[in-house]
Amino acid sequence: MTKFRGFVLLIGIIPLLLACQDRPEVIKDLSEASFKVVNQDSSTVNFPQDFKGKYTIVGFIYTHCPDVCPVISAKLSNVNKQLEDNSDVQFVQITFDPKRDTPSVLKKYMQQFKQDKQNFTAITGDSATIDTLLSSMDILAKIADKKITENGEETYLMNHTNRILVMDKQARVRYEYPGSVVKEEHVIDDLNALR
């Protein structure tokens, strides 16, 4: 009789174990983190706390980027358009370059990609906070090709991580992708699996 109960218990646990295999593991847990930053409207945002309760798709960009960042922003816009239901999804773009990417600059950048503020937020802040936030997510960024123009203006590019992340409703990173090359359908499929 004891062997039979053990067998029944095992049979009952197997479907639960199989269901758990479909859930992606936590890559990074930010559920207790809180970074005080500002959005494109100059409103204070606590990232990621203010986005808990929604699935958050995060891209890392800077507005002076000549190549990768515009592709990442376009991909985020495309994912939003292709989702059958985006009511529980928030898209967040975090700048590598808070010195130049002020709220008003980020707002204009979002308009270029037709990103509405209902589903999209762009984040900047003081350099120390942004650096700490990026570091907590294993995102690297470094100024490169710094030059001073004839009229004394400083110009530079940035070497940076090329990544898009999907966070669950508890602010835990569940998926990460090479941002400029991932297919939108892949992000959508993973998001739907997470749901």
pLDDT tens readout for residues 127-156: 999 999 999 999 999 999 889 888 888 899
pLDDT at 3: 52
**How many other CB atoms sit within 10 Å of the CB of residue 152?**
6
For residue 70, cis peptide bond before it (omega within 30 degrees of 0): no
Of the pLDDT bands very low, low, confident and very high (cuts 50, 70, 90), residue 173 is very high
For 76, phi and psi rounded to 5 degrees? Answer: -60, -45
- DSSP designation for 136: H
pLDDT at 171: 97
pLDDT at 153: 86
Query: Alpha-carbon distance 37 to 55, whole Å?
Result: 19
- Residues 3-61 have pLDDT tens digits of 545 444 445 454 444 444 456 899 999 999 999 999 999 999 999 999 999 999 999 99
